[in-house]
A and B are shown apart, each in its own frame.
Chain A
Amino acid sequence: MGRPDRIAPGDVPALELRGLGKTFHLRSGGVLRRRSTALHAVRDVDLVLPRNGILGLVGESGSGKSTTGMMALRLLEPTAGRILLEGTDITTLGSAALKPWRQKMQVVFQDSYSALDPMFTLQQVVAEPLRIHGIGTPDERAERALAWLERVGLHRGYGSRYAHELSGGQRQRVAIARALILGPSVLIADEPTSALDVSVKAQIINLLQDLQQDMGLSILFISHDLSVVRSLCDRVAVMFAGRIVEAAETEGIFGAARHPYTRSLLDAIPQLDPRNRRRRQFRSREDLAADIPVLSRAELAGDVAPSDTPRLVPVAPGHLVEARVTADPDTRSGA
């Protein structure tokens, strides 16, 4: 495929997406003049979530980041590409064959209120995945649920309470306990801190850090909040208009972004220093979409064939940028 290899030899990633795509066909017109427009929500996404690490997937609304997460979870069917969980292709597994794999990959959403059944006690909420997967006796399940509530920072007394009695941060803790009780290797977290108060956000970020390290978990952290991503993630992939346009170690993104879209995103973050206020220049989406970096082969950290079709190429070890590649080192650089 000519795609740059991002996998350390001998190490099977926790989750890998290969050429993943989702095209929606929007139909319009009547019976006689039916027309179908293709909307490419996600196009040709390659993503590697290494074991024991946190990968941030950032982008704005409509970038396709949540769609990508939903496809990885097999909650939305991709129209192209493959999903590999611990090296096994789960793209086309039927629901029965998929069930054991569901234990290995769990999800936490932004709005945990809708994910927690209001009629269940929190102990039942957290124990439910064990029940669904037929694990343990009812007593064992109850005990494990209480232990998990404690592990996420809620004392056992919360076991008999209901979701509506909790604050936003506490509900998110319950959602995390419920997601992790099956001992998954992969957690997909879609904007889990976005609805939280400032003072609580740091608590949940720390909890995810701790659990990731204790369990050796791999987390795909989907967020529009670059500040949170900077503190939490080992690596970051930036999505724009359904494609990954840049991916690197976190500080490679924050310190040495190469793609114009990544730069515009970083530039928009409000600065915490009122003495450094400045006027910003804004670029339109169309302008950014048209500004595809052109890199010469000499600028790349690897041997890449010249190509007029934009694709992800390495500009430094582990740092990929979507660009056109020219043979001549004197060609102008768009990045």
Chain B
Amino acid sequence: MTATEPFAPAGQTAPIVEIEDLQVGFPQLDGTVQAVRGVSFSLAAGESLGIVGESGSGKSVSCMAVMRLLRTPPARITARRLALDGVDVMAAGRRQMAELRGSVAAMIFQDPMTAFDPVFSIGTQIVETIQAHRATTTRAARAEALALLERVEIRNAAAILDSYPHQLSGGMLQRAMIAMALSCRPRVLFADEPTTALDVTVQAQILQLIKDLQDDFGMGLVMVTHDLGVVAETVDRVVVMYGGRVMEEASVHDIFERPAHPYTRALLVSIPGQEGGRRRLTEIPGASPDPSNPPTGCPFHPRCRQADARCRTDMPAMTPLGEGRRAACWRL
């Protein structure tokens, strides 16, 4: 069995997000692109989890699957359990799902432009979102929208309410998208590369804002990112994904101080700028696996310095390492 019991920290409340043995495939003319191949993780209320991976690792697709944001077909989703706040999203109807999205889980994306309709003002769209979930007057919803924009530290919020998406800078629009995501007071926020397209200083501001909001709202956070720096700054627990699988899961301290999986270790040492002075970096040879033609065995074996014959043929099971750490590697 590749999937073991999903990890949940002891003594915490029931999980808000449960993903168990998730598989997501996209059938193509010449075979299926298997984007997610047996992923399990969960998130307790108020907890923050980072999902780290490179492009094609399946990190975004996993989150979109539990939010039911993938159109099926073409996507083929199977899972032993896929739930938000205890509700099986595979069995949930369209209306129930619409209710879950927003009041239980909300998602923000790298490109906020795609989240807004260009022909309506920011205010109109936030008001509409509020009214879709709660019976309230437009006047009250508008006041709430204004308060939200102020809460996400948009200066001149009243004017922004009547602005259109194209009139806002990338950082502003990201703040407005966060305000819209928060408008239904979700219990967990999925943030998919929310700062990747932003300038360094704007990125730092948005990350700090997301952390503050998480504390204020007592909200769970799933931070999907390729950037280990973002993870180090924002979350308590980390899932490392590669080739559609979870390679390792541990507390953020363990990930940085005693990474168990060779991929995690290789990733950490390859990050530029850790030491002063011009230098060659310790690179990871090769490229990420082609999801339409994944390698046999462990997806990382073609690039792993420690790989042996078994790694080439068999996928290692997730092995518990104590203290909430687990990793999938034959060479642990």
Contact = CB atoms under 8 A, between A and B. Distances in A.
**Are A and B interaction partners?**
yes
Interface of A: 54, 60-61, 167-170, 197-203, 205-206, 209-210, 224-234, 250-251, 254-255, 264-265, 267-275, 277, 279-280, 282
10 contacts: A202-B282, A205-B281, A227-B273, A231-B275, A271-B233, A272-B271, A274-B233, A277-B232, A280-B208, A282-B208
B278 interface: yes
A265 B201 contact: yes
A198 B271 contact: yes
Nearest to B205: A282
Contacts, number: 136
B140 interface: no
A230 B281 CA distance: 11
Nearest to B253: A274
Contact of B54 (A198, A202, A229, A250): A198
Given A201-B270, A227-B273, A274 B288 contact: no
A202 B232 contact: no
Contacts of A228: 272-273
A131 to B, nearest CB: 29
B304 to A, nearest CB: 12
A331 to B, nearest CB: 29
Contact of B233 (A205, A231, A270): A270
Given A272-B256, A274-B256, A197 B55 contact: yes
Contacts of A234: 278
Interface in B276-312: 276-285, 287-288, 303
Most A CB contacts (10 A, CB to CB) among B226, B227, B228, B273 go to B273
B201 A251 contact: no
Contact of B232 (A168, A199, A254, A274): A274
A269 to B, nearest CB: 6
B273 A265 contact: no
B204 A198 contact: no
Contacts of A225: 272
A305 B49 CA distance: 56
Contacts of A229: 273
B199 A61 contact: yes
Contact of A200 (B207, B232, B277, B287): B287
Contact of B278 (A200, A232, A267, A282): A232
A231 B203 contact: no
Contacts of B201: 60, 264-265, 268, 282
Given A197-B226, A227-B273, A274-B231, 5 more contacts: A197-B54, A202-B283, A205-B281, A226-B273, A234-B278
B274 interface: yes
Most B CB contacts (10 A, CB to CB) among A255, A268, A279 go to A268
B272 A273 contact: no
Nearest to A197: B54
Contacts of A209: 278, 280
Nearest to A266: B200
A91 to B, nearest CB: 31
Given A197-B54, A203-B283, A233 B270 contact: no
Contacts of B283: 199, 202-203, 205-206
Nearest to B290: A167
